[in-house]
Amino acid sequence: MRELFFYDAMCAAGMPLHGGNVAATPEALLAEMDYYGIDRALVRHVNLDAAGAVLSNRVLADFLRSDSSGRLRGVWCILPEQCDELPGPDEFFRDMKQNRIGAITLSPFAHRWIPCRETIGKIMDAAAERHIPVLLDAFTGKWNELYNFVRMFPRNITFAMDRSKHGPDRLLRPLLENFENFHYVISCHWVPEGIRDLAERYGAHRLLYGSDYPFFSHGSMMLPLKQSALPEADIARIAGGNLNQLLEEAQL
């Protein structure tokens, strides 16, 4: 198989508040990526939950400004609109473009708010119109909440993953079947045949490579993907082509 282009869809970095083995600088993150052969990464700040959206967004922007490689894109966190902690959608998305931010995420359970249309409907609708991806890593393991959220915002391009030791197929497949804009990050889908079956059933364009660094290494899912027995073109799409296309299509 020819050399693959890998774009990591689920990666966190930055100086951790409570220590830990995390890349604190762009140089350290890029060195980790280079060791495993990761070309690019979509990065959220490791302190997002603890530091809050406003501060972590600002620190992530500083982090990216110190990266001269152009290989890193950021993920900013949104908040309920009623408290005026963040600017309105037009200004927020304009700031995203200026700071090399490619996607948004949310952390309602850590930041103490309810993820619903009443709290973030305006920015979610604006993100849907602009095809801006929404990472749902905060919903990992919270399947009832994930179902409710995707049901409320079916027009949004969403990414989700799973960290459980057991296969999530009974929980995951109904989302892939019923919501065409829902995508699955294969960060813990260890069984190669399972990756192939998902791709054949729902389309390779619905799957994204992601490491979930620093919880796992950047290379943890490379071998299962390469050994999935999918056509080379499908493996290439999952490895990096899908994410690259989605980020290019976002209208920031």
Contact 48, 81 (CB under 8 A): no
Query: 7 forms bridges with which residues in the sheet?
Result: 40
**Amino acid 193: pLDDT:** 85
Q: Which of 3-7, 98-102, 226-230 has the highest mean pLDDT?
A: 98-102
Residue 13 lies in a domain: yes
Q: Which residues contact 147 (CB under 8 A, 6 or more apart)?
A: 174, 175
Evaluated on CA atoms 15, 216, 76, 235, the torsion sign reads: positive
Q: Which of 2-11, 14-23, 210-219, 233-242 has the highest mean pLDDT?
A: 233-242
- β pairing state of 101-106 and 134-135: parallel
Assign residue 243 the CATH number of its domain.
3.20.20.140
Q: Which residues contact 59 (CB under 8 A, 6 or more apart)?
A: 14, 45, 47, 51
Residue 2 lies in a domain: no
Look up tokens 């490895």; give the residue. Answer: 239
Residue 159 lies in a domain: yes
**pLDDT, greater one: 245 or 187:** 245
Contact 6, 210 (CB under 8 A): no
Tokens of 94: 């304009």
Q: Which of 181-185, 194-198, 214-218 has the highest mean pLDDT?
A: 181-185
Residue 1 lies in a domain: no
pLDDT for residue 1 is more than 70: no
Q: pTM of the entire structure?
A: 0.94
Indicate the pLDDT class of residue 19, thresholds 50, 70 and 90. Answer: low
Q: What is the DSSP string of 61-91?
A: HHHHHT--SS-EEEEEEE--GGG--S--HHH
**For the segment 31-51, what is each residue's pLDDT rounded down to a tens digit?**
999 999 999 999 999 999 999
Domain that holds residue 36: 7-249
Indicate the pLDDT class of residue 22, thresholds 50, 70 and 90. Answer: confident
How many domains, the chain? 1
**For the segment 218-249, what is each residue's pLDDT rounded down to a tens digit?**
888 899 899 999 999 999 999 999 999 999 99
Tokens of 95: 């700031």
Residue 189 lies in a domain: yes
